[in-house]
Chains A and B, each alone.
Chain A
Amino acid sequence: MLQQFLQALQDSALGTAIREGESLFPWIESMHVLAVTLVIGSVTIVDLRLLGLASRDRSVLQMTAFALPVTWSAFAIAVITGTLMFSSNALAYARNPFLQAKLLLIIGAGLNMAIYHLYLSRGAAAWLAPAQTPRRARVAGAISLAMWIAIAACGRWIGFTLHALP
């Protein structure tokens, strides 16, 4: 069932065009890299503030309002371009362990962010000075930072392992 879907995806006009086009894939990948760097960079702005390491003279809420619109716009572009690249070689990508790990880590980073916003950020309006960031917020920031670094590494490793696997 899944195999059939993946096969149909890579046989689709879109998947075929990206696979066989001269320069379509590198252009999509370039846009993916631009989007991913902005996702990681803008998330890091929030993480470093939660950890009390940067933007210490602005509140946590000011920094989330400042950075997260960039995160979401860039994330949308990263998902679209990532899906387009996936469609060009769906069967091979689907069984690539680094792509699987990357998707799990993105889900993990999303859960960490959701838990932070729903529960851990309670009272964040009062976190003005760096010393007022509670431990639970610092832990969420550190987890996020580590996960996004791992996501970047997995993404780079996909390019080196895609064709090496049977």
Chain B
Amino acid sequence: MSTLDAFCKWLAAMPLSHAIANVGWIIPAVQTVHILAVASVLTAVLMIDRRLLQVGAREPSMLWVARRFLPFIWWPLPVLLVTGMTLIVGEPDRTLKNPEFFLKMGLLLAAVMVTLVFQIPLGRDPDFWHRQPARRWAARLLAIASLLLFAGIAIAGRWIAYTQST
């Protein structure tokens, strides 16, 4: 038996896992909270990225949009972590042995890095992404990468339900 099998068995044997899996309303309720936190992240990402791509409203300014919406990317992450871990404890085989789950985690790591690459220079210099044409193009590329990565996270998340664990 692999370590992963043993770990999944150990999780599934916990009374907490039984409770999550067998009390009918817990998983849909936790998924609802998870998806509302996802709504905050995806909307904040879209608002920042469409400003970077200069699609739609020119006002408010990019700095205002970044300041207003970056917290709505970071704040929900602990909520997503707690609700996501609850779903794993309830159904360890369905998640930890699922390729879509690991794809989702990989995309999440990349999305967090892209967000930090945008945010950290902006924190030091509010005009950082405007100063040179090359930087403006870099910001647009970051925006497209960010949109694709965050959409990929949500899509992979939904596909966990449809992929057989290996």
Interface magnitude class on chain B:
20 to 34
Determine if B60 and A58 form an interchain contact, defined as CB atoms under 8 angstroms apart.
yes
Determine if B36 and A38 form an interchain contact, defined as CB atoms under 8 angstroms apart.
no
- Answer yes or no: A112 CB below 8 A from chain B CBs: no
Determine if A152 and B28 form an interchain contact, defined as CB atoms under 8 angstroms apart.
no
Chain B residues near A70: list those with CB within 8 A.
43, 46-47, 56
A119-149 Cβ-contact flags toward B at 8 Å (1 or 0):
0000000000000000000000000000001
How many contacting A-B pairs (Cβ < 8 A)?
A: 82
Interface magnitude class on chain A:
20 to 34
Partner of A157, one of B28, B47, B68, B158: B28
User: What is the CA–CA distance of A69 and B50 in the complex, to the nearest angstrom?
Assistant: 12
- Answer yes or no: B12 CB below 8 A from chain A CBs: no
Nearest-CB residue, chain A, relative to B156: A30
- Answer yes or no: A54 CB below 8 A from chain B CBs: yes
Chain A residues near B56: list those with CB within 8 A.
69-70
Chain B residues near A159: list those with CB within 8 A.
28, 161
User: What is the CA–CA distance of A6 and B24 in the complex, to the nearest angstrom?
Assistant: 29
Determine if A30 and B159 form an interchain contact, defined as CB atoms under 8 angstroms apart.
yes
User: What is the CA–CA distance of A69 and B43 in the complex, to the nearest angstrom?
Assistant: 13
Separation in Å of the A26 CB from the closest CB of chain B? 4
Chain A residues near B64: list those with CB within 8 A.
57-58
A50-94 Cβ-contact flags toward B at 8 Å (1 or 0):
000011011000100110011000000000000000000000000
B18-52 Cβ-contact flags toward A at 8 Å (1 or 0):
00000010011101100110111011101100000
Chain A residues near B47: list those with CB within 8 A.
45, 66, 70
Chain A residues near B155: list those with CB within 8 A.
30, 34
Measured CB to CB, the residues of B under 8 A from A are: 24, 27-29, 31-32, 35-36, 38-40, 42-44, 46-47, 56-57, 59-60, 64, 68, 151, 154-155, 157-159, 161-162
Told that A66-B60, A156-B28, A160-B24 touch, could you supply 18 new A-B pairs with CB distance under 8 A?
A: A26-B158, A33-B154, A34-B151, A34-B155, A36-B39, A37-B35, A37-B39, A37-B42, A37-B43, A38-B42, A40-B43, A41-B40, A41-B42, A54-B68, A66-B59, A70-B43, A70-B46, A156-B35
